Amino acid sequence: MEKTQSSASRTESWCTRDVLFIALSAFFADMGYQAVTVIFPP
């Protein structure tokens, strides 16, 4: 009988391509919103 690896011993990265794209889209959206608010006078 073969031993299977436990989930704790596996090293799966949480930083996948989808996570990276979501983070980048949130970053650029925030930059866009902040750039617009800087243009408006107080």
Q: Does the residue 38 lie in any domain?
A: yes
Cα–Cα distances in Å, from 38 out to 12, 28, 32?
41, 15, 10
Domain presence at residue 25: yes
Q: What confidence score (pLDDT) does residue 17 get? A: 95
Q: Give residue 11's pLDDT.
A: 77
* pLDDT value at residue 35: 87
Domain that holds residue 35: 14-42
Task: Write down the residue that tokens 């889209």 correspond to.
Answer: 25
The verdict on residue 28 lying in a domain is yes
Domain count, the chain: 1
Task: Give the global pTM.
Answer: 0.57
Instruction: Tell me if 7 is assigned to some domain.
Output: no
Q: What is the pLDDT of residue 27?
A: 96
Examine residue 1 and state whether it is found in any structural domain, yes or no.
Answer: no
pLDDT digits (tens, 9 = 90+) for 3-41: 565 555 567 899 999 999 999 999 999 999 888 888 887
pLDDT reported for residue 19: 95
